[in-house]
Structure 1
Amino acid sequence: MEFTGFSKKTLLFLADLKQNNNKEWFSAHKKEYEELILNPSRAFVTEMGEHLQALEPTIKAIPKINQSLYRIYRDSRRPNAIAQPMKERIGIIFWQGEHKRMQSSSFYLHFSTEELYVATGVRWFEKPMLDAFRSTIKNDAKRAELANILKVIKAKNKNYTHLEKGYKRFPRGFHADMQHADLSLYKGMATYTKFDPHLIEKGDELIERLYTVYEDMLPLQQFMYAVSLRVEYD
């Protein structure tokens, strides 16, 4: 299936889902989900993946659920899980590395009726990745390198930004007198930007805009991939 953009009905479907977030409604509209979201998402992963592999040949672009695509159903087993059974935003990920896709450096996006969110890096750290990140930036040169990467990315486009700090106290081995010590206060390390969600309806333009963003943010992708190579799992 060639990717030509998502249908103009896709966001309308998500709006209806938002108003009818229950298994009965979704079961009755599953064919629409497949036609408006699942099938074009698979085509998008294939098309976008070929472009991203020109930037990073080992990027994984696998057009399957639990690979580059996410399940529409929420995981109700998680602590503090949202009561609504279906996700109201559609996530897609292209990751690099052999670890968990969400704990590997990645090119990521999600779209909903409110926005198209586009990000690069690792959006939150589990403990092994957090440990590897902090171990990396204990090195003065690596902290300076990361600080410069973030500065250069933000200078490329005023709409580029990065995650906010998640901790208030410096972890062991870091202190306020260290240059760029604030980098140790992050719970994830990713840069991102947002677009009007209707961009998903414009096939070639969507691919081109995303490629530009991901190319601009590539240095962070590469930095975080190097961090992921230091992760030690039990």
Structure 2
Amino acid sequence: MKTKFTGFSQEGLNFLQTVRLKNDKEWFEEHRPVYEKRVLEPFKLLVEELTPCMLKIDQWFETKPAVNKTISRIHRDTRFSNDKTRYRDRFWLTFKRPSKDWKESPAYFFEIGPDAYRYGLGYYCTSKETMDIFRKEINRDPEAFLNVAKSCKKPFELVGESYKRPLIKEQPTEIATWYNRKSFAVMVTSHQVEETFSPDLVKRLTKGFQQLVPLYDYLMRVEIIKNIPE
């Protein structure tokens, strides 16, 4: 009988909390069974249960329930970072199309840490080229974009760094809040982490991800335009 996702656990969150404080290899290896059973395994099961819904959104999504495919690594790459902590204290999954630069691709995501979880759709840190095409599409048909933006209603909120000065003066607020972003995501953030201890999390994520389909389709049109040879 296939194992189903039953929720995350306090033991798994305690592991993420403690790895933040005791960030060394000896401690991690001693507690690896907890990581594999209480963190990694639930993520794999969650990916499997979400996959049918996600493939209806985009048949080209990477859906393999594995680290470096849909699931993040617990080990941090410290080669080019001033932060030399070895292990992450938060864990996440993504659904996106395979690409050479994953930061450039719009992605659905779910992330959990010791004291909060969040989920949504957006970019990790996309390029100015992508955002310029996004802005051109808004300018081409503002009303069409505003219809797409309606899908990003509560419980989601728009986040991401904005330019200090507006790129266009006297632009309607409902467009300017998107137009002036350097990168963005639409997400839900909750500190009620006990909500992730139930299999109902699958229904919550499914409903939220489906709500954002109009935005995903819009961002994928931006990707198509970006990849058209000049």
- The CA deviation string for residues 81-122 of structure 1, in whole angstroms up to 9 with x for no partner, is 423221111011011364533322221010011111011122
CA distance in 1, matches of 2:143, 2:171: 11
CA distance in 2, matches of 1:182, 1:120: 17
1:215-226 equivalences under 5 Å are 215-226=210-221
* Contact 2:8 2:39 survives alignment (8 Å): yes
2:197 equivalent to 1:201? yes
> Quick one: structure 1 residues 147 and 163, their matched pair in 2 at CA, closer, same or farther if it must change by over 3 Å?
farther
Report percent identity of matched pairs: 23
Provide TM-score, normalisation by structure 1: 0.84
Cα distance, 1:66 vs structure 2: 1.4
Cα offsets for 1:1-29 (capped at 9, x unmatched): 43222233111211221221222211221
Shift in CA distance, 16/181, structure 1 to aligned 2, threshold 3 Å: closer
Amino acid corresponding to residue 110 of structure 2 in structure 1: L
Corresponding position of 1:168: 164
Which of 57, 69, 72 is matched with 1:70 structurally? 72
AA matched with 2:193: P
CA RMSD across the alignment: 2.5
d(CA) in 1 for partners of 2:36, 2:123? 29
Query: Equivalents in 2 of 1:124, 1:146: separation in Å?
Result: 21
Distance 1:221 1:99, change over 3 A: farther
Q: Which residue of 1 aligns with 2:127?
A: 126
Counterpart residue number, 1:39 = 41
Runs of 4+ in 1 over 4 A off after TM superposition: none
Partner of 1:190: 185
Distance change (3 Å), C-alpha of 1:233 and 1:149 = closer
Check if 1:91 corresponds to 2:92. Answer: yes
| SS class of match (1:119) | strand
Closer, same or farther: CA 145–163 of 1 in aligned 2, 3 Å: farther
Shift in alpha-carbon separation, 1:127–1:232, aligned structure 2, 3 A: farther
Q: Which amino acid aligns with 1:38?
A: L
Cα distance in 1 for partners of 2:88, 2:222 equals 30
TM-aligned CA deviation for residue 182 of structure 1: 4.8
The letter for the 2-side match of 1:34 is E
Runs of 5+ unmatched residues, structure 2? none
**C-alpha separation in 2, matches of 1:109 and 1:7:** 16
In the superposition, the TM-score normalised over structure 2's length comes to 0.85
